[in-house]
Amino acid sequence: MEGKQSNHNHNNRIEMSTTSYFTFGQKHQHELSGQTFDKSTVVKITTEEGEPRDVMVKAFGSKWAFEYCEEPPDMDLYPGGIIELDVHQEESETEEAEPETDEVEPETEEAEPETEEGESEAEEPEPEPKPEPEPKKGDQVSPGTAEKLKKKAAKKKDEKPEPVEVRDLPDEPEPATKTEGSVVPVSGDFYLDIETGPLPPERMRAIIPVFDPGSVSLGNRKDPEKIKAHIDAARESHEQDFIDRAALDPKYGMIWGVGRAWTTKGEPEFIVCNDPKVEADVIAETLFHMENALANGWRVVGFNVKGFDLMFIRRRALIHGIPIPRQICSTYRGRLQWHEGVVDLMHEWLGPGQEREYSGNGLDAVCKAVCGFGKKGSGKHFHEQFLNDEKVAIEYAKWDVHCTQALGKSILQADSLAEIRKRAESKMVTEIV
């Protein structure tokens, strides 16, 4: 908040201005006042009255991503730079574009011209006929009225409903259809699976705890030389221990890549982000896709996605100062609450109240049991594999998303009564003699 002093009518008062910075999503592009606004630019808005967000919505609608209060985001991620929006100019352009509604047309009675003698007065327009009330069920109607009602019903049947706008999803999902004995399915699924690894070595060394020789267990060692050698070995492995655990700890680890897929796009994608600056941009983009998917009735699906992927994303987002949309995650009575559209396939497999029985129920084991095939490696050493052969590591990550997709299609289709009936009719139920 910035304060400035001004004098009006000899009365001193303080006017407070508010500044915010706004970014755009990957597919957002606007042309305004001869300037282009897209994912590479940041909009700066300063208002003396009202909120900058209101000005942003008035100028760009809902086609933008995040708001940063007072301080801009990391500008290394936005090569287009900061464009300051002139609030007064935008308001004047908007007022000129809107038709004036303040002028009141004179009433026809007062403006009625006088008629000369012998000249017939203008005939008054006939009032529009009132629509005939539709007959109720059981009423008797004439043949003519019955024919009109029949034509009206046929015309109403031929009218097509207006299409519903879908915000920035990769492909517009097919409309849901309702079949006998089933519920209306959701529009589509957005599959998510992240790969993690350690932070860059220089950043790791800056944040890991300093080695404490007193914390080393000496056991039964009495010889000073053996004790010194044991402590030196512990000192050497101190950093490596944190590197080995970093893939599971967002304090010392980071997201090396995001695997994703949509039901409307068959092939999985993998976005590499093995650099903290790129990671922040990919996290913001991933949250944007999730928010849009949930807002349009899609599901966000993953395996152990609530226990690992989303928690890791959330904590890395907090480190980068990226806000978590409330549509994805909120807090209720001190506990995190995920949107009801977030589906964890591990929980679906284990069943209600069995979430802690995850031992032996990883993606590889469950996918082999349900789909007949499993993973092609372990994510624990993904960063090492990526450094040795990037192409092989990316193929491994895409296959993980493919396994998640296949498992989701097998597990989530069972909530349709029509699917159960179909299996029964195909003699998949053993006949009891």
Of residues 254, 250, 214, 256, the one with CA closest to residue 235: 214
Residue 6: exposure state from Cβ atoms within 10 A (0-12, 13-18, ≥19): exposed
Tokens representing 142? 């004439």
| Digit-coded pLDDT (tens) for 228-245 | 898 888 888 888 888 888
pLDDT for residue 285: 94
Q: How far apart are CA 126 and CA 113, in angstroms?
A: 19
The Cα–Cα gap between 15 and 18 comes to 10
Given a cut of 80, is residue 128 above it in pLDDT?
no
Task: Give the pLDDT of residue 326.
Answer: 85
CA distances (Å), origin 190, targets 158, 294, 297, 345:
34, 9, 11, 13
* Confidence bin at 120 (pLDDT 50/70/90): very low
Most confident of 48-62, 114-128, 346-360: 48-62
Per-residue pLDDT for 314 more than 90?
yes
Domains of the chain in start order, with CATH, are 2-88 (no CATH), 189-344+372-405 (3.30.420)
pLDDT tens string 198-228: 999 888 888 888 888 888 888 888 888 988 8
Q: Which residue has the higher pLDDT, 384 or 98?
A: 384
Angle in degrees, CA 25, 29, 35, rounded to 5: 125
Q: Annotate the chain with three-state secondary structure.
A: CEEEEEEECCEEEEEEEEEEEEECCCCCEEEECCEEEECCEEEEEEECCCCHHHHHHHHHCCCCCCEEECCCCCHHHCCCEEEECCHHHHHHHHHHHCCCCCCCCCCCCCCCCCCCCCCCCCCCCCCCCCCCCCCCCCCCCCHHHHHHHHHHHHHHHHCCCCCCCCCCCCCCCCCCCCCCCCCCCCCCEEEEEEEEEECCHHHHHHHCCCCCHHHCCCCCCCCHHHHHHHHHHHHHHHHHHHHHHHHHCCCCEEEEEEEEEECCEEEEEEEECCCHHHHHHHHHHHHHHHHHHHHCCCEEEECCHHHHHHHHHHHHHHHHCCCCCCCCEEEECCEEEECCCEEEHHHHHHCCCCCCCCCCCCHHHHHHHHHCCCCCCCHHHHHHHHHHCHHHHHHHHHHHHHHHHHHHHHHHHHHCHHHHHHHHHCCCCCCCC
The two tokens of residue 433 are: 């003699």
Question: With left for phi above 0 and alpha for psi between -120 and 50, is residue 44 left, alpha or beta?
Answer: beta
Separation CA 120–CA 117 (nearest Å): 8
The neighbouring-strand residues paired with 190 are: 262, 300
pLDDT bracket for residue 67 (50, 70, 90): confident
pLDDT above 80 for 273: yes
pLDDT in tens, 144-184: 666 777 777 776 656 655 554 444 444 434 433 333 333 33
Q: What are the Cα distances from residue 183, in Å, to 114, 180, 343?
A: 69, 8, 18
Between 155 and 324, the higher pLDDT residue: 324
Q: Which residues contact 158 (CB under 8 A, 6 or more apart)?
A: none
Task: Answer whether residue 341 shows pLDDT above 60.
Answer: yes
Please state the pTM of the whole predicted model: 0.54
Q: What is the pLDDT of residue 90?
A: 55
Q: What is the percentage of the chain residues whose pLDDT exceeds 70?
A: 69
User: What is the reported pLDDT for 133?
Assistant: 59
Cβ-Cβ contacts under 8 Å for 429 (sequence gap 6 or more)? 423
pLDDT at 119 over 50: no
Using one digit for the tens of pLDDT, what is the confidence trace for 344-398? 999 999 887 776 676 788 999 999 999 999 998 887 788 889 999 999 999 999 9
When comparing pLDDT for 363 and 102, which is higher? 363
Average model confidence (pLDDT) across the chain: 76
State yes or no: pLDDT of 195 exceeds 90.
yes
Residue 51 has pLDDT above 70, yes or no: yes
Residue 179 CB neighbour total at 10 angstroms = 11
What is the arithmetic mean of pLDDT over 289-296? 91
At 53 the pLDDT is: 86
